Amino acid sequence: MKQNHPFHMVTKSPWPLIISINLMTTLMGIIIWLHMKKTMLMLMGLILTMWTASLWWRDITRESTFQGNHTKKVMKMIKSSMIMFIVSEIMFFLSFFWAFFHSSLSPSIEIGMNWPPKSIKPFNPMDIPLLNTIILLSSGISVTWAHHSILSNKMKKSNKSLMITVMLGIYFSMLQLMEYTESPFTISDSVYGSSFFMSTGFHGIHVIIGTTFLLTCLMRCKKMHFSNNHHLGFELAAWYWHFVDVVWLFLYLSIYWWGK
């Protein structure tokens, strides 16, 4: 059907409703896992969420790459939406930093008026946290390299640099998992444990999501879906990845280095 406007009228899709139900299932599964040590519901929710996300990505890839629905006007609107989403994420992490500095700058009598509390042995900022900082900064360089390669129509170089970025993201997540398993304190160890695991944990989830975005872009790049003037999916994934990098720098400087 021919349209006389540059906008894309989104067709009816079941994925928003289905993925919201799957996310609710995942969160309920996490609660059951934390309280009852049962992982069945959480794993089922995660699998269904990933499956639904892949189908949603498939539809968006079709409408942008094969159907030509993403005009310049549509891409401008999508970019504005991504900017607003990243701003909302900044506010989300700002709440964690607010809680951390509120408790650390004026420790209450319940934790001995000391920061960190005397019973807490914080991580050495020069150990795994520093390595993770180097990894994420390096991944920011490699994803920028991939962007410039796409702009120059050098797709083989963009594939290599994107692969490096994805590998660095996976390496970061593995190191953070190792750090969590070796942690001398837990999320229930006063406000320090709560603020540490909530802020770094949610950042870790964002790293996994960003790695998944970039892995999807890598597969699309290998299939030649991108060109130097049509690569919006990759560009938004790169924005998200740079946001994750910046948040980690603030986490490292405040929680690991300043708050030790």
Give the chain's mean pLDDT. 89
Look up the pTM and report it.
Answer: 0.87
Distance, C-alpha 202 to centroid of its chain: 8
Which residues, 6+ apart, have CB-to-CB distance to 219 below 8 Å?
A: none
The highest-confidence range among 38-42, 102-106, 111-115, 256-260, by mean pLDDT, is 38-42
Phi, psi of 230 (to 5 degrees): -150, 85
Q: Tell me the average pLDDT across 207-229.
A: 89
State what percent of residues in the chain have pLDDT above 70: 96
Q: In the prediction, which pLDDT does 4 show? A: 62
**Is 18:49 a contact under the CB 8 Å cutoff?**
no
pLDDT by residue (tens digit) across 149-170?
Answer: 998 888 888 999 999 999 999 9
Q: Is the pLDDT of residue 250 over 80?
A: yes
Quickly count: other Cβ atoms within 10 Å of residue 36's Cβ: 9
Q: Is the pLDDT of residue 2 over 70?
A: no
Closest CA to 20 of 45, 54, 55: 45
**3-state SS class at 122:** coil
Q: Tell me the average pLDDT across 124-148.
A: 93
CA distance 184 to 162: 35
Hey, what are 49's tokens? 């969420």
Q: Tell me the average pLDDT across 231-248.
A: 92
The residue type of 116 is P
Q: In the prediction, which pLDDT does 1 show? A: 53
CA distance 141 to 118: 39
- Residue whose tokens read 């990505």: 57
Handedness of CA 24, 30, 31, 37 (dihedral sign): positive
Given pLDDT bands bounded at 50, 70 and 90, which one contains residue 66? confident
pLDDT by residue (tens digit) across 73-129?
Answer: 888 888 999 999 999 999 999 999 999 998 888 888 877 788 888 888 888 889 899
Closest CA to 82 of 190, 238, 199, 222: 238
Beta partners for 230? 227
CA distance 227 to 161: 16
Phi, psi of 227 (to 5 degrees): -135, 175
Higher pLDDT, 198 or 10: 198
Classified by CATH at the fold level, domain 1-69 comes out as Helix Hairpins (1.10.287)
Q: Which sequence spans correspond to the domains of the chain?
A: 1-69, 71-258
Please tell me the chain's helix, strand, coil percentages from 3-state DSSP, rounded to the nearest 5.
Answer: 75, 0, 25
The residue type of 134 is I
Beta partners for 227? 230
CATH 3.10.20.30 describes domain 71-258: no
